[in-house]
A and B are shown apart, each in its own frame.
Chain A
Amino acid sequence: MTNTLHRYGKSESFRDDFILFCIPSPGKNDEGAVEKQKAFLRICARHSPVNMGNGNRGSFKPERHLDPRSHWNRDLSPDWEGVIEGVNKPGTAAAVFDSEENARACLQEVVDADLGLSVNLSTSVSGAKEVAKCCGIHRHSVEYSLGFTDPHDHLPNSQVLELATMCGHGMVSFNMARKMLDMVREGRRTPDQAVTTLARFCPCGVYNPARARRLLEEARTKAT
Chain B
Amino acid sequence: MLIDTNKCVACANCVPVCPMGAIYVDPDIGRARINQDECVECGTCFRGMSQEHLNPTMVRTVRKLARLFRFRFEPEPDVCPTAAFVMNELEMPRLVRQVFSDPVVEHKSTGIKGRGTEEVKTNDVNPRVGVGEVGYTIEFGRPGVGVRFRDIQEMTIELARMGVKFEAKNPITHLMTDESTGQIRADILGEKILSAIVEIKTTLDQVEAVLGTVEEVNRRIDTVTAVGISTRCDDGGEETRLAQVLEDLGYGAERAKTNMGLGRLTNAGAA
Q: Which residues of A contact B (CB under 8 A)?
A: 1, 3-11, 14, 23-25, 27-32, 56, 62-68, 70-71, 74, 107, 110-111, 114-125, 128-129, 132, 135, 137-152, 154-156, 161, 164-165, 168-176, 178-180, 183, 188-189, 197, 200-201, 203-204
How far, in Å, is B58 (CB) from chain A's closest CB?
Answer: 11
The stretch of B42-50, B89-97, B156-164, B179-187 that contacts the partner chain: B42-50
Instruction: Give the residues in chain B near A27, CB-CB below 8 Å.
Output: 267, 270
Residues of A within 8 A of B225 (CB): 148-149
CB within 8 Å of A: which B64-86 residues: 74-79, 81
Between-chain CB contacts (< 8 Å), 14 pairs: A8-B143, A28-B270, A29-B125, A62-B47, A71-B79, A110-B262, A118-B124, A132-B237, A141-B259, A143-B229, A143-B230, A164-B143, A174-B144, A176-B17
Query: Bound state CA distance, A189 and B77, in angstroms?
Result: 10
Is the beta-carbon distance between B254 and A14 smaller than 8 angstroms?
yes
Q: What's the least CB distance linking A152 to chain B, in Å?
A: 5
Q: Flag if B125 contacts A65 (CB, 8 Å).
A: no
Q: Residues of B within 8 Å of A, CB-based: how many?
A: 91
| Candidates B119, B125, B141, B219; contact of A151 at CB < 8 Å | B219
Report B's interface with A, CB cutoff 8 A: 15-21, 42, 44, 47-54, 74-79, 81, 103-104, 114-115, 118-126, 129, 135, 137, 139, 141-145, 194-195, 211, 214-215, 218-219, 222-233, 235-239, 242-243, 246, 251, 253-268, 270
Which chain B residue lies CB-closest to A145?
B255
**Main SS at interface, chain A:** loop
Q: Is the CB of B51 within 8 A of A170?
A: no
Minimum C-beta distance from B74 to chain A (A): 6
